[in-house]
Structure 1
Amino acid sequence: MSDLETFGLIRNDFLRVPGDWPMSRVVRAMLDPARDASPAAPITAIVTDSDGRFAGFLTCVKAIQWLREDGARRKSVLGSDGSGAGSSEANAKQYALSGAEPISSGDCLSQIIEKVVASPALAAPIIEGDDFRGVVFIEDLFERVFEGVLVGDNAGFNPRDES
C-alpha cells in the first residue's frame, strides 16, 4: 500500500514530533507499519505553543482526485466544522478558495502553520511531495509560535478542558 493510499490513516496513540520536522517526515512517521493504525479518521495533530498550551488542530486528509487533476482548483481548501471538513469531494469544492500560499512537503510544521495563518480565512493549501499528496486544515488557531506538536488521535481529548 502506497503512502498516498494510506495517507488517511490515523494513529491510536500520540506521537510527539519536533516542530522543525518537514511534513513528509511526519507523514512517514505516522505511516510507520510498526505502529498500529485505524482507517477511521485522517491524521490529526494537536498543535501546542512554546508553553505547551493548546493552539489548534492540524488535520491532513487524503488528496482528492479533482484537486490533483484540476490545476485551477489546487489553490486551497478550507475546513470549517472542526471535523475534518474537506475529506469528501463535495466538501472540498464547497470550501475551495484562491490566493493561498502553496505548501510543499519539505516545509516544516511551523512553516506550514505560518503560511496558513497568513492565508485568507485560514485557507489550507494542497501539500504535494514525491511520496504523498494531501490537504491541510488549521482550526481554532490561537498562537503563531510553535516549537512542537502532538500527532495522533484526539478522540476523547478535550484540549480546552483544564479541569
Structure 2
Amino acid sequence: MLDRTEIERLAAAAAALRPEWPIKSLCTFLARDHAHRSYADVAIALTAIAVDPKTKTPKRMNELGPWWGAAAAAFGDRANDTRYERCPVDGHRSYPAGNCGACRSEALATEPSETPREHVDIGAGPDLVRAAMRIHGVPTTDELRTRRAAEQQNLTEPGPVTEPMEEA
C-alpha cells in the first residue's frame, strides 16, 4: 500500500523521466489507481513505462504488461511489501500472522462440540399456563385443531342447492 509520501516521490521520479507528465496529475493517478500496490511494483512499472517510447500517458500502467512482473523478477518476494507479517502456515499466507482467519476457523472446527446441557426441571409451569388459559377462555392447541377440522369439513360438504333466480 502506498502512502502519500511514496506517491509524491514516485510522481516526481516519473516527471523527471517524462517532463510532459505533470506531478499533480501523476499523484492523482497513482493514488486513485495504484495505491493498493507495493512501492517496488509501482516504482519499477512506472519507470518502465516512462522510458518506453511507445508510452503516451502514464495510464498505460493500467494495462497488463511486462512491467508488472519486473519487480517480482528483480526483488522476488520482497516486491510484495505487505506491511505486515504473513501467517507461516501453508495455505494461509494471505492472512496476517497472529490474526489468521483460517487458523481461527480451523481451531473452532477442532474444538469439542457443545457440552451437553443439564436437564432443567420447569416444574408445574406448563400446567399453570394451561390452567390460566382455561380460566380466561383461551382455546388450547387441541381445541383449535378440532375447530379447524370442523371448519374444513363444513367447507367441503355440499351446501343446499338453490334454484337460480328468475329474471324479471
> After TM superposition, is the score higher than 0.5?
no
- TM-score band, normalised by the shorter chain? under 0.3
Which of the pair has more CA radius of gyration? 2
Question: Relative to total residues, which structure has the larger strand share, 1 or 2?
Answer: 1
TM-score where L is the length of structure 2? 0.21
Q: Which has the higher contact order (CA 8 A, sep 6+)?
A: 1
